[in-house]
Amino acid sequence: MNYSNQAWRFYRIDTGEVLSHSMHLPDAETVAANTPPDCGAVQMQIDHMSQRVQLVPDDFGNAVPVLVDYQPPAPADDADQTWAWAATIRRWVSVPTQAALNRKAAEPILAQLAELDAKLVRPAGEVTQALALGQAPPAAAVTKLQEINAEKAALREQLAALTP
């Protein structure tokens, strides 16, 4: 075997799991000295996240390391994402849940509602001041309040449609 400072990958003999790091080692003694306990060493290009090493007997009964594809368990789902296996890249990819999509869709609506709340201050103040002084509220302020509240009601309907 050619030991000219090649990249070596280590794997757990019992599971075939490939460790995430590799080492460039010059000779068999150095490989043996650096191989972790209960592990084997191979010179292969390995994607440690989607491949494993399997020991299979050769024609002479010797265990030979062979690279096999492996699909790790999916990460745990949560309120924001589930996971789907993408065979082309051999990885689990995040898929947003409907709740996460609804929250994302609600963000601009909530921002618009906040803007409208800020626009309420002046006409509400004018109406409140007039009423406190026993005067009729200014028609323009009342109209503006009605317009803003109508816009807010429409936005709240959109928001309600997003929440089951």
pLDDT tens profile 7-25: 899 999 999 999 988 888 8
The DSSP symbol for 51 reads: E
Beta-strand pair 6-12/18-25: antiparallel
The pLDDT of residue 134 is 94
The pLDDT of residue 4 is 59
The pLDDT of residue 38 is 94
Q: Residues of the chain whose pLDDT is less than 70?
A: 1-5, 164
Within 10 angstroms of residue 22's Cβ, the number of other Cβ atoms is 19
The pLDDT of residue 26 is 85
| Look-up of token digits 């609600």 | 106
The pLDDT of residue 1 is 54
The token duo for 77 is: 């789902």
b/e map 77-115, b = 16+ CB within 10 Å: eeeebebeeeeeeeebeeeeeeebeebeebeebeebbee
The DSSP symbol for 90 reads: T
Distance CA 114, CA 135 (A): 30
The pLDDT of residue 3 is 53
The pLDDT of residue 35 is 92
